[in-house]
Amino acid sequence: MRKLCRCGHRMSLGFRLVIYKNGIQVDRVPIMECDDCERYEVLSAVKSDLLDLLFQLEEQGETGLILFPEVNELADVLYGLFTDPMLEADLNEAMLVTSCEERINLLLDLYGCAQKSNDKNWMNEITVRLATLSNFVSKRQFSGAK
Ligand SMILES: [Zn+2]
C-alpha cells in the first residue's frame, strides 16, 4: 500500500474515526496517512462507499457510532489483514487482492447455500458484499496491480 504525500514523504495505511455532521461517527475507516506531515486521506478504493454510507445515515437521521468494516466488505478484509498478528511482511496490494479473492470464494459458497435454501434476503445481502470486492479486484486486474 504505497502512496506518496504531497510533501514527498511516504503515506502508510491506517484506520481512523471519521466524524461527520449531525453526530454521525464512523470508526475504522481505512486511510492513508503521511509519516511526516500528518496529512491523511480516505483510501480511494472505499471513498465512494463511505460517502454513500454517510449520505444514507444522514437520510435516515441516524446518529451514533458505526464500524465501517461491519458494513463494508473491502474494509473488513483490509482490517482483518491489518490487525493480523501473523502478518510478517508489510501489507501490500497484492496481498489485499489475494485476500479479497479468498473472501469472494467464501461468499460464492455462501451464495450457493442461500440459493439452495431459496433465501432471497440472504442472497441479496451476499450480492451486495460480493459487489464491493469484485469491483475492487477487477479494477486492480485492469491497472496491473501496482
Ligand atoms: Zn506529508
Asked if 97 and 140 sit in the same domain, the reply is: yes
User: Does residue 125 lie in a domain region?
Assistant: yes
Asked if 98 and 61 sit in the same domain, the reply is: no
Question: CA 54 → CA 18, 85, 96, distances in Å?
Answer: 10, 31, 25
User: Does residue 81 lie in a domain region?
Assistant: no
**11 Cα to the center of ligand 1, angstroms:** 7
**6 Cα to the center of ligand 1, angstroms:** 6
User: Does residue 37 lie in a domain region?
Assistant: yes
**26 Cα to the center of ligand 1, angstroms:** 24
Q: How far apart are CA 107 and CA 54, in angstroms?
A: 25
Structurally, the chain folds into a number of domains equal to: 2
Residue pLDDT tens, the chain, 146 long: 778 999 999 998 999 999 988 789 999 999 999 989 989 999 988 999 999 999 999 999 888 899 999 999 999 999 999 998 887 777 888 889 999 999 999 999 999 999 999 999 999 999 999 999 998 998 876 554 44
User: Does residue 75 lie in a domain region?
Assistant: no
111 and 133 in contact (C-beta within 8 Å)? no
Asked if 25 and 56 sit in the same domain, the reply is: yes
**33 Cα to the center of ligand 1, angstroms:** 8
User: Does residue 76 lie in a domain region?
Assistant: no
Asked if 100 and 47 sit in the same domain, the reply is: no
Range of the domain at 138: 92-146
Q: Which helix (H) or strand (E) holds 126?
A: helix 120-143
Asked if 61 and 107 sit in the same domain, the reply is: no
**38 Cα to the center of ligand 1, angstroms:** 6
**59 Cα to the center of ligand 1, angstroms:** 34
